[in-house]
Chain A
């Protein structure tokens, strides 16, 4: 299992800053979300995308997915997936059957695609069954309920197709997630031999300030400084009180 960071944790960071922050915090994987400031877009120049991959590798990171939901750009997304060497993590359309169909079309165009499942219960549903035989990403949400059992059921039913899990929280939010079943999730993933990625992202934009500081955004860190000295609870309180723009 590889622990990763979503660019959603640093949506304003250009690629270099994002790579540096992820490497400093010991992440092995990086998930790029369309719209964040890293500069990788479906229409980006192939050379620029290749350069991004090279820089990530040099920083000890693997780009493990490109998350997008919006309509359009499907051919460009296919090309992006190929150049990045990473799957498109497809969040849309909202309707699961339509999402499956879109993924199939993108695969026909040469893209690697993982459909993002979010909150769908593991039921004997035709569309879901079709999804379960394709590469999958799953967004856990510990606030809704303990994610462990659902993850284990997904792993069992998909026999290895589940390769991307996004866990809202972790990072500076770790100490706040007591009792939400994160430990249980990690234990079940370990015992199931899960070998995909687990990517962290802020659970809400209200924690943006806490994440910026935790990642050592300029002013909060610097070479050799112990960003860790920043009291997490204070930052989180600030964020909760609307202390960030």
Chain B
């Protein structure tokens, strides 16, 4: 059983936040995923994924507040 990849972005300075998220995503092998943990709904991030990685990512909410949001972001194989 592999350990979960948990990326808690609450402690990351704003300028590094999205680059860190995309660096983590890009380090995944197809089929792998990580769990993003945040203190608000990461909607703008989702739109950025949709524009920059259309069709290559999965997005599943595991928890939706009120204090913590968890999203499992998976990397799909390029189609």
**A residues at B contact (CB < 8 Å):** 1, 3, 23-26, 167, 169-171, 174-180, 182-184, 186-187, 189-191, 193-195, 198, 200
Contact = CB atoms under 8 A, between A and B. Distances in A.
B48 to A, nearest CB: 16
B11 A193 contact: no
B24 interface: yes
Interface of B: 2-17, 19-20, 23-24, 27, 34, 37, 39, 67-68
B16 A193 contact: no
Contact of B4 (A26, A170, A176, A193): A193
B20 A184 contact: yes
A99 B35 CA distance: 36
Given A26-B68, A187-B24, A1 B11 contact: no
Contacts of A184: 16, 20
Contacts of B13: 174-180, 182-183
Contacts, number: 81
Given A174-B11, A178-B13, A186 B3 contact: no
A77 to B, nearest CB: 29
A68 B41 CA distance: 37
Contact of A182 (B11, B34, B39, B68): B11
Contacts of A195: 3-4, 6
Contacts of B19: 183
A162 B71 CA distance: 25
A193 B23 contact: no
Contacts of A190: 5-7, 24, 34
Q: Which among B4, B13, B15 has the highest number of chain A CB atoms within 10 Å?
A: B13
A188 B20 CA distance: 10
